[in-house]
A and B are shown apart, each in its own frame.
Chain A
Amino acid sequence: ETGVTQSPTHLIKTRGQQVTLRCSSQSGHNTVSWYQQALGQGPQFIFQYYREEENGRGNFPPRFSGLQFPNYSSELNVNALELDDSALYLCASSSQGASGANVLTFGAGSRLTVL
């Protein structure tokens, strides 16, 4: 089975720009979650998508948005980038539905640097 793949692996943006990060979920998984991992910290939950709809959101502003597609892949969009958005963005997929226990399979992440 294929794992979770993310692209791009690294990217550099400047303040005010917009970025789109992409994620392909593991085969058989229908739920995608996005996490932000700043340097020296644990991952923080951004949001989760199930059946192409947002299904739970963490403490992130509206300029963080996402999409899930019919093939369960997903995008994370961040508008009006700020320096503090520099982090590793992790995508995780799971086969659970809108509720219930989550056993997440993580991708390698996209490292975003905002200058």
Chain B
Amino acid sequence: AQSVSQHNHHVILSEAASLELGCNYSYGGTVNLFWYVQYPGQHLQLLLKYFSGDPLVKGIKGFEAEFIKSKFSFNLRKPSVQWSDTAEYFCAVNALLRGNKLVFGAGTILRVKS
């Protein structure tokens, strides 16, 4: 079965620190990859996505993610976090030959201290 692993469940950073959230998936075929974010009190929102092409994708609010096919990874990065980045971040994978479902990781709760 497909699975998505997010390496850290809780991350605490100070403002201006760099962020990297790990995400690995278990499916070997063609995939679409996503990062969703849930700010406190808000619904899930798309942060960025990878379908094909340049494996380094840029999303909203200065976030980027790199797809490394050989490592089955899609790590999320931001050079300098802000207090407003406090949220829960979910990595999700759609294995194209296995239907339309997204398989989500368990999420990483990021708290940025001001």
Q: For the complex formed, measure the closest distance between the CB of B43 and the CB atoms of chain A, giving whole angstroms.
A: 4
**Is A42 a contact partner of B43 (Cβ separation < 8 A)?**
no
Interface class of chain A by DSSP: loop
Q: Which residue on B lies nearest to A48, using beta carbons?
A: B100
Residues of chain B within 8 A of A96, CB atoms compared: 100
Interface residues on B, range: 20 to 34
Interface residues on A, range: 20 to 34
Residues of chain A within 8 A of B4, CB atoms compared: 42
Residues of B83-108 contacting chain A, CB below 8 A: 90, 92, 94, 96, 99-107
**Is A107 a contact partner of B90 (Cβ separation < 8 A)?**
no
Q: Which residue on A lies nearest to B9, using beta carbons?
A: A40
Q: Contacting chain A: which of B14-22, B44-52, B58-66, B70-78? A: B44-52
